Amino acid sequence: MVLFPRRPPIQRRSFAARMAFGVLAAACFLAAPQAASAQNKIVDEVKAGVLAHDVGFLGHHLEQGPDVNLEMLFTPPDLLAIIGSPRPHIGADINTAGKTSDGYFGLTWGIMLIQGLFNPGDGIYANGSLGGAVHDGYIDSGPPNRKLLGSRVLFRESAELGYQLTPGISVSALLDHISNANLGRHNMGITSAGARLGFG
């Protein structure tokens, strides 16, 4: 007797593939050479990295496998100046072990903490983001080794500390968390942590 389906209602592999394809296709299209000047570019930065999935911080560790993280940050429109000119972003955390993957969106605020640390153009920076995520995991029932996330759409927050090697290349450590803020029947949440490279 099968108590749980082998896959959640959203097919995990197809969901992860769609998320990866969507982010990569958007990055290729929007980052293509444009006639506009650099000040008017649409995509400000593209980031890619590997995260340890469900590390247990802010919750219990259940799920395994590293995540591939892809993220695209856009140049902030003028209307966001009133809240500090955060950069809109879209991204995906794609679990390589068939566990929970998610696509996410939101706003990223950043500050340069130290400029010209070793060379002109380098420095230490910090980013923080708020937004939402849509996942392909389990909601209210599932196997004992899977997180019950309570709702399909979740809140997402992240914190990032990085080193800007050059004006166009950065390396950073990222911590991100998705949960429903106790608005659902279950709220196990998933926290992931790892490293990323940024190009922009």
pLDDT value of position 2 = 42
Q: What is the reported pLDDT for 6?
A: 44
Whether the CB-CB separation of 72 and 89 falls below 8 Å is answered with yes
pLDDT the model gives residue 3 = 47
pLDDT in tens, 89-146: 999 999 999 999 999 999 999 999 999 889 888 999 999 999 999 999 999 988 999 9
Q: Rg (Cα) of the chain, in Å, rounded?
A: 18
CA dist list (Å): 105 to 9, 92, 183, 200: 22, 9, 19, 19
pLDDT at 41: 87
The confidence band for 9, taking pLDDT boundaries of 50, 70 and 90, is very low
168: DSSP letter? T
When mean pLDDT is compared across 13-27, 44-58, 60-74, 183-197, the lowest value belongs to 13-27
pLDDT in tens, 19-61: 655 655 555 555 544 434 455 789 999 999 999 999 977 667 8
Write the CB contacts of 64 (distance below 8 Å, at least 6 apart in sequence).
53, 54, 97, 99, 145
To the question of pTM greater than 0.85 for the whole model, the response is no
Domains of the chain: 12-199 (2.40.160.20)
Helix (H, G, I), strand (E, B) or coil at 47: strand
> CA angle at residue 9 from 153 to 57, to 5 degrees?
50
**Cα–Cα distance between 92 and 18 in angstroms, integer?**
10
Those residues with Cβ within 8 angstroms of residue 164's Cβ, 6 or more apart along the chain or in another chain = 112, 121, 122, 123, 124, 125, 170
Quick: pLDDT tens for 72-84: 999 999 999 999 9
Name the pLDDT band for 63 (thresholds 50, 70, 90): very high
53 vs 10, higher pLDDT? 53
Using alpha carbons, select from 143, 145, 146, 141 the residue that is nearest to residue 184: 141
**Would you tell me how many other CB atoms lie within 10 Å of the CB of residue 127?**
22
pLDDT at 150: 93
Residue type, 145: N
The alpha carbon torsion through 83, 86, 91, 93 (nearest 10 deg) reads -80
